[in-house]
Amino acid sequence: MDLSSINPILLVASIMVSATPILLAAIGEMVVEKSGVLNLGVEGMMITGAVIGFVVAINTGAPLLGFAIAAVAGAVVSLSFGVLTQVFLSNQVATGLGLTLVGLGLSSLVGKPYEGMKAETLPKLDIPVLSDLPAVGQMFFSHDIMVYLSLLLVVAVWAFLKYTRAGLILRAVGESHDSAHALGYKVIRVRMMAIMFGGACAGLGGAYLSLVRVPQWTEGMTAGAGWIALAIVVFASWRAGRVLIGAYLFGGITVLQLNLQAAGMTWGVQYLSMSPYLITILVLVLISSNRAKGSHNAPASLGQTFHATR
Amino acid sequence: MIRRTLLASAAAAATLVAAPAMAQDPTEACFVYVGPIGDGGWTFQHHQGALAVKEEYGDAVNIRWQESVPEGADAERVITQMAISGCDIIFTTSFGYMDATNAVAAKFPDVKFEHATGYKREHPNVSSYNGRFYEGRAVVGHIAGKMTQTNKIGYIASFPIPEVVMGINSYFLHAQKANPDVELVVTWVYTWFDPAKEADAARAMIDQGVDVITAHTDSTAPLAEAAKEDGAVIGFGQASDMAAFGPTPRVASIIDDWSPYYIKRVGAVIDGTWEQVDSWAGMPEGEVVIGEMTDVIPEDVRAEAQGMIDAITAGEYHPFTGPINKQDGTPWLAEGQVAEDGELLSMGFYIEGITGDIPN
């Protein structure tokens, strides 16, 4: 084993790139769950974003436009979930799973002609002064714009939920939709907006996969990233800052174990690969074992159907 | 006898007018795929083989297929459904379908079953077939050894099964013959298809100075990652040509061409001459093909690689020809000795010079 062949600067840089898709999807899903809706269709929305972003970037040559349209596409797909669960009161778990299947099928249909093509990718930013810093510059300040946007989004979501009135309403809807309704808040409208925000974020995450991280379109290319995003939300116990930690931990461990293997380490790699999932289970156990502490973590109305006449 | 034939033809002629389709039912050839046809690699190539069957026999054959069938209980259901719905021959194209294929074959003795990459033939109506991909690995290994500037070459491995270990050994053996200083880095990703993870594995190796990457996974992501290095890193198409990534980073490719086998076997069903076989064909039969070697490879290296292809195709050279030692230095093959198929198909050790262990 030759650990000196691992370059920590490049390692950190590649962890940031690797974690960005799941960070984007997870922060969106956290907002959705904060509003009391469990959308298991993250995988479907991500892959829709991946294919639409790729198609737009190929046809226009503008990857940023690809990201924008991917966000719209993710939001539109999630709207179907919103209408079904909020207006027609369908079961959220089943509808979310259905959304995943629809997304996977639809994306392979749309993406068929684009297989094997190469799209324009996002340029790495060259930030004056910061990018030129030794080591730190290469680690943190020479990524593409979406990496910084994802970090900005985490801060924005945190501030929105903590300091704004709208954020308070969203949390109220997620904790007790009946009380929120009695106070005159539009529960369904709030949840619809949250669902669309979640869809847009998942779409961005998917587009990051197909436009920056891989960068190409391959059928089924999200390969479970959406489910990891769902696990991260639980891991983070519905807090924005912890979502960031969770995403970097999940992404980081994948990259780290591959780097350790490439450096010649063969023992314990499997354990490292499974550790994020074990930690997620552990967190779940801790949350449910400590009711007093756990009760203010998971939104109380999570996954429950709301009907105004009840 | 003649009179009976005459009567039969008369009857056939009579029905020809009423229902022409009845005169000659097309043979139904069915395919079970483990991934999407659009993977650009393994499943894509099997589907190319299926299309070649249709092209060869035209209206005499109908082809049907099902994509992304999980290896497990679902596979048995899908294969049974195909057998019930009139398939005459069913190709199951992944290792994990082995038991399901044999189980269904027991219930449908009149249907022919062909299982790819497995070894169980429990019933007379089950054949197995595979490709000698290690022949292709030998050729690209030679190119890798000659082309590397950093003397570090990488291999993205899927699962620790004999098929993959065989590929790693063949690749390294020939890289080392071309360049004694070469070092092999193996990274296990435990998946056949996960583009993001395959890309991450390629990135990890590139960051550590690897400049030639080959993959034993199904997507084109490792090549896409290598492409980010502006020509400093090269790789090879795997299972399919992946020509879109040429002339660099894709400098050559190992193509699985299933068409000759599929055409032959469906033809045997049509003629009624189908018999159980255990087929393991490679370059001589045209089932393992090296895709176009691009100009990025120096001309003399291309000539050497072509020489190796010709020798393997002519049956003059076997990639596993001694002397070869195992990783711990104990002799495996003596001077001039050629590995037996059985040994290769159960290969569970690295050859001398590869560092690290095969995970369990």
Q: Which residues from chain A sit within 8 angstroms of residue B244, using beta carbons?
A: 116-118
For A262, the closest of B40, B185, B224 (CB atoms) is B185
Q: Which pair of structure tokens corresponds to residue B220?
A: 């084109």
Chain B residues with CB under 8 Å of A111 CB are 38
Chain A contact probe: residue of B44, B191, B200 with most A CBs at under 10 A: B200
User: What ipTM was reported for this prediction?
Assistant: 0.79
- Going from the C-alpha of B355 to that of each of A161, B144, B187, the distances in angstroms are 52, 18, 12
Task: State whether B242 and A116 contact (CB < 8 Å).
Answer: yes
The Cα B135–Cα B344 span in angstroms is: 12
Q: Which residue from A minimizes the CA distance to B37?
A: A219
| Closest Cα in chain A, distance from residue B51 (Å) | 17
Nearest CB to A214 within list B221, B242, B244: B221
Q: State how far residue B11 is from chain A, nearest Cα, in angstroms.
A: 47
Tell me the nearest-neighbour CA distance from A37 into chain B, angstroms: 28
Specify burial of residue A45 (Cβ count, 10 A radius: 0-12, 13-18, 19+): buried
> DSSP for B272-325?
T-----EEEE-TTTTSEEEEPPPTTS-HHHHHHHHHHHHHHHTTS--SSBS-EE
* CB nearest B203 (choices: A14, A220, A264): A14
- Residue A298: predicted pLDDT: 84
pLDDT at A224: 85
Give B-chain residues touching A273 at CB under 8 angstroms. Answer: 190
Q: What was the pLDDT predicted at A291?
A: 63
pLDDT tens-place string over residues A118-158: 777 888 887 887 878 888 888 888 889 999 999 999 999 99
In this complex, the residue of B196, B201, B209 whose CB is nearest that of residue A209 is B196
For residue B191, the chain A residues in CB contact (below 8 A) are 223
Put simply, the chain A residues between 87 and 146 with a CB less than 8 A from any chain B CB are 108, 111-112, 115-118
pLDDT at B11: 45
> What pLDDT band is residue A98 in, cutting at 50, 70 and 90?
very high
Question: What are the contacts of B101-107 at 24+ separation with CB within 8 A?
Answer: B101/B75, B101/B126, B102/B126, B103/B76, B104/B76, B104/B79, B104/B80, B107/B80, B107/B83
CB contact (8 A) between residue A116 and residue B220: yes
Give the pLDDT of residue B159: 86
pLDDT (tens digit, 9 = 90+) per residue, A286-305? Answer: 767 766 655 557 888 898 88
C-alpha–C-alpha distance, residues B139 and B303, integer Å: 11
* CA nearest to B142, candidates B236, B205, B257: B236
Tell me the C-alpha distance between A287 and B269, whole Å: 61
The CA distance from B200 to the nearest CA of chain A, in Å, is 6
Which chain A residues contact residue B68 at CB under 8 A?
220
Distance from CA of B206 to the nearest CA of A (A): 9
- Average pLDDT over every residue of A94-109: 93
pLDDT digits (tens, 9 = 90+) for A229-268: 999 998 888 999 999 999 998 888 888 888 888 887 767 7
Give tens-digit pLDDT for A182-223.
999 999 999 999 999 999 999 999 999 999 988 888 888 888
Tens of each residue's pLDDT in chain B, 360 residues: 444 444 444 444 444 444 444 446 899 999 999 888 877 788 999 999 999 999 999 999 999 999 888 887 889 999 999 999 999 999 999 888 999 999 999 999 999 999 998 888 999 999 999 999 999 999 999 999 999 999 999 999 988 888 899 999 999 999 999 999 999 999 998 888 788 889 999 999 999 999 999 999 888 889 989 988 888 999 999 888 888 887 889 999 999 999 999 999 999 999 999 999 999 999 999 999 999 999 999 999 999 999 999 999 999 999 999 899 999 999 999 999 999 998 898 899 999 999 888 887
> Residue A185: which H helix or E strand, with range?
none
DSSP β-ladder status, B324-325 and B61-66: unpaired
**% of chain A surpassing 70 pLDDT:** 95
Residue of B nearest to A116 (CA): B244
Q: Cβ–Cβ of A215/B224 closer than 8 Å?
A: yes
Residue in B194, B224, B355 closest to A264 by CB? B355
CB contact (8 A) between residue B40 and residue A5: no
